[in-house]
Amino acid sequence: MLNASAIARLLRNWTAEPLRGLQVPEAGTINQTFLLKTPAGRYVLRAYRPVEREHVEREHHLVAYAQARGLPAPAPLPLLDGGTILERDGRFYALFPFISGRQVRREDLSASEIAAAGRFLALLHRTLRAYPLEMARQRTLTVGEHDRVTTLMALDRLEEIICLRKPLSESDEVILSHLRVRREWVKRADLGSAPGFSRLEQQIIHGDYQETNLFFSGSEVSGIIDWDQAYRAPYAWEVTRALHLMFQFEPAPSQQFLAAYREVLPLSLPDLEAAAVTYVAMRQCDLWAYTAIYLEQNDRVRRFFHAGPHISLEERWQRLYQSLRKAL
């Protein structure tokens, strides 16, 4: 973690203003973000996780594209010597303007804010449709038999590491219960993409659309940040991901979000199902949150795990799917 003196030195590459205040937001599990206060105003310093320079350049180009077309995406500020990317000791940094508006915790989202988030995502997708695909990062969006084997091996290792911790914390116990449910699903699941997924048209998507990256003014979205995970995918994929991360596929808020999305951009239930079934299979084999805690000592991720019976992601999706079939 950078200290205040190091951050003040970094800030001098953008402005001569002295650092008067420093805050580290609770949100954020990959890149480090710092809220800076100077006599002239407030800024956001992003310290990127170790990546290639091309990754940061790609993000800045996409943000400029989105901003030029009216999306409220804050663009990185220029350095005193030009450019927008600062490199120090093999790590990259960028400074952004502070966004006015408010952020809302997912449990506090009102019906109007949920609808605003749905409409805004559709607007974002419609705006980004023309972005050149060759400039977008490609990700593998399917899993197969090899992933089953490697996931089960990784689950073995994680359970071994956790059980060696003495005494186990309440959080450790919760995570162990999650891993056991995950293991049973991976052992029996029919992995692979859903029928119809390969025909879904791909485009650039934001890549991390959720409430932690949204700002609201009134009941409308006034800003969206953290574009560095953008990649190519069907837009139904990002809708599915948002429904999962923001609402855990809970039917009531998910239906509100989808209804607002469809006011701006069509999305059929078969297309959403194809994306969701594929997404669930991939996420069930994705152990990032667990490895972040126990192999990388990133305890910020523990907040994603809560006590109580663990319901598999597939079961959550099926509950939402059945409610959507009745509603439509």
What angle in degrees, to the nearest 10, is found between the helix axes of 235-247 and 111-128?
Answer: 160
Q: Do 17 and 66 belong to one domain?
A: yes
DSSP symbols for 112-167: HHHHHHHHHHHHHHHHHTTS-GGGSPP------HHHHHHHHHHHHHHHHHHHTSSS
More confident residue, 24 or 63: 63
Residue 74's nearest CA partner among 119, 103, 117, 44 is 44
Residues 115 and 222 in one domain: yes
Last residue of a domain, one of 97, 129, 151: 97
Q: Let me know whether 25 and 117 are in one domain.
A: no
Q: Among the three residues 67, 97, 127, which one is the final residue of a domain in this structure?
A: 97
pLDDT at 192: 82
pLDDT at 191: 87
**Do the domain assignments include residue 29?**
yes
CATH code at position 287: 3.90.1200.10
Q: Is the pLDDT of residue 110 over 60?
A: yes
Interaxial angle between packed helices 313-327 and 235-247, expressed in degrees from 0 to 180 and rounded to the nearest 10 = 110
Summarize pLDDT for 132-159 with one digit per residue, the tens. 999 989 999 989 999 999 999 999 999 9
Q: pLDDT tens digit string along 237-253? A: 999 999 999 999 999 99
Confidence tier at 256 by pLDDT (50, 70, 90): very high
Identify the pLDDT of residue 100.
85
Structurally, the chain folds into a number of domains equal to 2
Q: What is the pLDDT of residues 172-224, one digit of tens each?
A: 999 999 999 999 999 999 888 888 999 999 999 999 999 999 999 998 999 99
Name the residue among 93, 96, 99 with its Cα closest to residue 2.
Answer: 93
Q: Return all residues near 186 (Cβ < 8 A) that are at least 6 apart.
A: 148, 151, 152, 155, 284, 285
Looking at the chain, the whole-number percentage of residues with pLDDT higher than 90 is 85
- Identify whether residues 136 and 42 lie together within a single domain: no
Residue 151 maps to a domain: no
260 shares its domain with 121? yes
Question: Is the distance from CB of 195 to CB of 270 less than 8 angstroms?
Answer: no
**Does position 130 have pLDDT exceeding 80, yes or no?**
yes
Answer whether residue 158 is part of any domain: no
Residues of the chain with pLDDT > 70, as a percent, come to 98
Q: Residue 80 pLDDT more than 90?
A: yes
17 DSSP assignment: P
Residues 40 and 128 in one domain: no
- Is 156 a domain residue? no
148 within a domain of the structure (yes/no): no
User: pLDDT at residue 74 above 90?
Assistant: yes
Whole-number Å distance between alpha carbons of 161 and 248: 28
| 29/115 same-domain check | no
Answer whether residue 129 is part of any domain: yes
> φ and ψ at 240, to 5 degrees?
-60, -45
Residues 313 and 271 in one domain: yes
Helix (H, G, I), strand (E, B) or coil at 295: coil
Domain residues for the domain of 207 are: 106-141+191-327
What pLDDT does residue 31 have?
Answer: 72
- Answer whether residue 174 is part of any domain: no
pLDDT in tens, 278-327: 999 999 999 999 999 999 998 888 988 887 778 889 999 999 999 999 88
H/E stretch holding 221: strand 220-224
Quickly state the pLDDT bin for 27 (edges 50, 70, 90).
Answer: low
Please state whether the peptide bond connecting residue 18 to the residue before it is cis, i.e. omega within 30 degrees of 0: no
CB 226, CB 62: distance < 8 Å: no
Under a CB-based contact definition with an 8 Å cutoff, are residues 31 and 13 in contact? no
CA separation for the pair 186, 182 (Å, rounded): 6
In whole angstroms, what is the distance from residue 100 CA to residue 116 CA? 17
Which CATH number is 62's domain given?
Answer: 3.30.200.20
91: in domain? yes
Residues 110 and 251 in one domain: yes
Give residue-wise pLDDT tens across range 85-103: 999 988 999 999 999 899 9
Which pTM was predicted? Answer: 0.92
Res 29: pLDDT: 53
Query: Do both 92 and 218 map to the same domain?
Result: no
Instruction: State whether 91 and 23 are in the same domain.
Output: yes
What was the pLDDT predicted at 106? 94
Closest-CA residue to 221 (of 66, 43, 94, 38): 66
Domain boundary among 63, 97, 131: 97
Confidence class of residue 30 from pLDDT cuts 50, 70 and 90? low
The neighbour count for residue 2, using CB atoms within 10 Å, is: 17
Same domain flag for 55 and 129: no
Classify residue 306 by burial, with Cβ atoms within 10 Å: 0-12, 13-18, 19+. Answer: exposed
